[in-house]
């Protein structure tokens, strides 16, 4: 794959193994070098979309193109997905030294990237993984996932355990990757700290659909018209979106398909069980 791959989604609909709807008629066009925030309440479909983009789930033929090819059938290289099953890897909770873990995923082959990530994420190479906090463990996991150069990075709420300073440094590094190498990032998150001026694009999802998407500049006028709440303009915009979604959806009341656990029928990735989370 060439550096700086784009993402093209047309008419993507997806159903879970029990027949419940996961996504409906998704359309997206995210250019190479973009930094996209994927916004939506829990259950909006964000995780499902990211797993389909990464090729971990089978999408209907012709609905997803990453760098011009189907991510499931082509077995893409250069696409990195960091989500639920990745952060639950039991290896990173054993009595093992950080340098051994980093070398196991290519640290010796990419020493400059390894050292840069260790510095940015404030990792202590003397740590033993069974004796660190969740936040410290997450820093090591991020370094492990990102040592090998990637062209498209799909992030699913993996910065939740990072402190404010670590998250700031990490987001700055991601911005540099997109600007230096033309790499592409899609980041699903509920945490908006340090994100003012960071995204180039926004995607707003609700109930398995994309309600709106586009370049961030297209939403600036809308954010200027919102009442101030003490948040950033981006925070005010996202808060309005989520309030509108709640009003449209109403109380959850046991919506069909939410929070269920299924057998992984697609045979790609995972740990034998597939939990629907967003």
Tokens 């033993």 belong to: 128
Of all helices (H) and strands (E), which one includes residue 136?
helix 134-146
Q: Is 257 left (phi over 0), alpha (psi -120 to 50) or beta?
A: left
Whether 125 is in a domain gets the answer yes
Full residue range of the structural domain in which residue 217 is found:
7-275
CATH number for the domain harbouring residue 162: 3.40.50.300
Whether 172 is in a domain gets the answer yes
Lowest model confidence (mean pLDDT) among 99-103, 104-108, 117-121, 134-138: 134-138
Please report the pLDDT score of residue 273 as a whole number: 32
Residues facing 43 on adjacent strands: none
Whether 159 is in a domain gets the answer yes
Whether 33 is in a domain gets the answer yes
Q: Cα(219)–Cα(258) distance, rounded to whole angstroms? A: 30
Check if the beta carbon of residue 15 is closer than 8 Å to that of residue 21. yes
Helices 164-181 & 111-120 angle (0-180, nearest 10):
150
Whether 1 is in a domain gets the answer no
Q: What is the greatest pairwise CA distance in the chain?
A: 53
Q: Cα(47)–Cα(142) distance, rounded to whole angstroms? A: 18
Q: pLDDT tens for residues 212-246?
A: 999 998 887 776 665 565 568 888 889 889 999 99
| 3-state SS class at 186 | strand
Please report the pLDDT score of residue 278 as a whole number: 52
Give the count of domains, the chain.
1
Whether 129 is in a domain gets the answer yes
Whether 2 is in a domain gets the answer no
Work out the percent of the chain whose per-residue pLDDT is above 90.
54
């Amino acid at each position: 794959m060439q550096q700086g791959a784009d993402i093209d989604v047309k008419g993507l609909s997806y159903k879970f193994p029990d027949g419940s709807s996961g996504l409906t008629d998704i359309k997206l066009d995210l250019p190479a070098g973009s930094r996209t925030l994927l916004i939506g309440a829990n259950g909006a479909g964000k995780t499902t979309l990211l797993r389909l983009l990464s090729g971990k789930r089978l999408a209907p033929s012709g609905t997803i193109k990453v760098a011009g090819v189907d991510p499931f059938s082509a077995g893409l290289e250069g696409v990195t997905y960091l989500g639920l099953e990745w952060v639950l890897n039991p290896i990173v909770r054993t009595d093992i030294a950080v340098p051994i873990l980093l070398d196991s995923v290519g640290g010796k082959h990419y020493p400059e990237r390894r050292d840069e990530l260790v510095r940015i994420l404030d990792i202590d190479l003397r740590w033993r993984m069974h004796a660190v906090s969740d936040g410290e463990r997450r820093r090591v996991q991020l370094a492990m996932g990102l040592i090998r150069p990637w062209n498209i990075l799909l992030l699913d709420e993996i910065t939740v355990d990072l402190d404010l300073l670590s998250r700031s440094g990490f987001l700055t590094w991601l911005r540099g990757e997109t600007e230096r190498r033309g790499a592409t990032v899609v980041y699903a998150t509920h945490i908006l700290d340090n994100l003012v001026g960071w995204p180039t694009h926004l995607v707003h999802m609700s109930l398995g659909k994309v309600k709106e998407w586009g370049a961030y500049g297209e939403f600036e006028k809308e954010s200027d018209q919102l009442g101030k709440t003490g948040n950033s303009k981006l925070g005010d915009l996202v808060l309005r979106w989520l309030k509108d979604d709640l009003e449209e959806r109403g109380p959850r009341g046991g919506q069909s398909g939410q929070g269920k656990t299924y057998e992984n029928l697609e045979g790609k990735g995972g740990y034998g069980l597939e939990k629907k989370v967003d």
